[in-house]
């Protein structure tokens, strides 16, 4: 699992940074996505990790956008 997380870390950070525009938010999103994958899906077959991780990452990015839109109202 550690090798997988290391292999996706940079790409995930870039995706989150582009989506949020904020360094701290991007780091938090990637960390949350990695923790969720490890806690909930580490027992799944290795070939499922990548699609699961990117789905979790995308959901965390969307959550961040929702929180921001609520704060502006």
How many angstroms separate the Cα of 50 from the Cα of each of 19, 36, 64, 69, 70? 19, 13, 21, 29, 30
List, for residues 8-47, the tens digit of each pLDDT value: 999 999 999 999 999 999 999 999 999 999 999 999 999 9
Its pTM stands at 0.92
Domain holding 43, by residue range, is: 2-72
- The number of domains in the chain is 1
Residue 69: CA atoms inside 13 Å, Cβ hemisphere, count? 6
| CATH label of the domain that carries residue 41 | 1.10.1740
Q: What integer is the mean pLDDT of 51-56? A: 98
């Amino acid at each position: 699992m550690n090798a997988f997380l290391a292999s996706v870390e940079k790409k995930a950070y870039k995706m989150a940074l582009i989506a949020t525009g904020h360094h701290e938010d991007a780091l938090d999103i990637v960390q949350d996505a990695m923790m969720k994958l490890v806690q909930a899906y580490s027992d799944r077959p290795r070939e499922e990790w990548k699609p699961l991780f990117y789905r979790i990452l995308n959901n965390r990015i969307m959550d961040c956008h929702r929180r921001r839109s609520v704060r502006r109202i």
